[in-house]
Structure 1
Amino acid sequence: MTDPVKGNISQPQPVVAANSAKAWLLAARPKTLTGAAVPVMIGIAFALRLGGWDSFRLLPAVLCFLFAFIMQIDANFINDYFDCLRGNDDAATRLGPKRACSEGWITLPAMRAGIVVTTALACLTGLPLIVYGGWEMIVVGLVCVAFCFLYTTRLSYLGLGDLLVLVFFGIVPVCLTCYVVLPEGAERIDWHVFSVSVWCGLVIDTLLVVNNYRDRENDRRDGKMTLVVRIGEKYAERLYLGLGLAAVLGVQLTVWDGNRQWTDFVAFFLPDVYLFLHVLTYQQMIRIRKGRELNKILGQTARNMFVFGIVTTLGLLMAS
């Protein structure tokens, strides 16, 4: 089969029975779950750093992971459903991975039911967190659900997606995870936690940037004014590189307080592992520039995000 975008022979598409377990797995987009895991990992690392292992509370940590994972899947279902309704997933022009509703793997009524179920599961999973964080957790949960819908249906078309990533994949999950995992009476979140939550959000935004970079021509055609569409190709490339550079420098300055133990030096340089991978991915990105081949840059960026989460978590635990 000839690829209509690149003109070469495309890979055969998977045979997926309608509404099957395989169809739901593909719709859940498991590779995107790294974006949900990383901020929770970092929030837990900060809780351990501030409160110590003896006072670590396992249950709220597990609940934060589950809530983040389910909300990510919910967001993927919502994106799949509404993009299909808008006709944004046209098979002839789509550059990204195939979408379940547009391919007929999941019917629209089934996807509506799936969205209801995952939204309810996320709320039920997050509800016990009021024991650890107070009734304010209900408000936070409702805001997360609301913006999960608003992102796909409205805000992504206004170029606000990157801001939402910063807030809901950086500041909110890192700070709140740290807050609910810390025991009562322990030192609460400080500027260090907030600072790293911002850097975490910037790293996760690289995934959205490369996704929108790949889709920039289709988005412009569909009236989806993402940040990449607004600033153009060259500035989008610089933004991708700059987000990773800023995040690494920010984490290094936040984690290292001038101590001279060997563990502090290791913690300082650990983020450079991520930076090395990020720069390599950037170089491939600007070489490819357009087409379906950018999907491998998407996969590498997801891998780099996870590496950032690991090295930042280790650095937080090692530093004095």
Structure 2
Amino acid sequence: MAPQSARRQPFDVVMTMVRPPHATQRIFFPVRGTPIMRSHFFSCRLFVFALMVLMCGSFKSLADEPFAPADVVELLDGADSAEEALNAMVAASNAGDDQAAMLLVDPAIRPLLLPSIAIERYAIDSFLLKTGSFGEDENYRGGLLFHFTLRDLVCIRSIKLLETRVVDDKRVVFTVLTTENINHEENPIHNVRTFLAIQRSDRWYLFRSFGELTMLFAGSLVLQDTNEPVTFLKIHARCDDSENRENADNEVEYLIPIELIHEHLVEAATAPEIKESNQLARKLKRYYDSIVNRTKRGDYETRSELEDAMDPIEDWADILSGTTASLAPGLIEFAKKHGLKPEPN
């Protein structure tokens, strides 16, 4: 077994940068201009591109066989059964098809994921667009630090089913062992995760914490914006003196049953501010798509012109970056009602 210090942990940061002492926010974004500190969104050009690594899952047994071919999958809005929903999610994730994967996420939960996904797409795609159109920026020193909701949505490559728990006739909890490859590393890692399957009408959908939600549940000080965060889940890392089930590298334990967390989030997703965030996320995507089309037809002659066109998007991304954090107050009260206590930092 590799020493604990050498093993990649779920929330490790892969970075080749030195972060200045004033950079305290959770997101670094590749933009031009003078560094500006914002409430939830830190924009600058002083850092090297960095990526937040989240635990990913996979769909196969632990035998180190080649992964199944990542073919194009059918777009299915839910599935006929809980098991089929889980299988379809893994197939979509293995194919890297985020649209197919999102259609298998509980529709009531999707509004909580879309704002952070919109930011993530813009952050990476705009960087590539500017580089592809005008070459590398010799003054660029920056990057971004994300919790990668989109990446977490399609990280699964294979799974092994460990346990099935029936909550009622419309809800089933699956505990699975995942296999995942992160950051082009040669050796995969294995994690124990929990999925909740939910029936809506005659279709089945899935829920688990993705990306920023995982960080929020894990007690992120930034996302909960408090010195006394509440931890909803714990990540048990394998170490020299203990092992997880199936000798997994990490095991996710929800401290409140996942079906109760899901119920709270379904209600939280109906809040007016969440609706507004989703409207803004759609506006961001549409505006950025128009910029891409205008870039293709040659409307922008210089990098500066292209960056000027993107200025409004950066303001919208700033607003959207606070969406997940806005759930924290309600979640903290919810946790207290279920016996969880704040943990002073």
TM range (shorter): under 0.3
Greater percentage in strand: 2
TM-score of the pair, normalised by structure 2: 0.24
Whose helix fraction is larger, Structure 1's or Structure 2's? 1
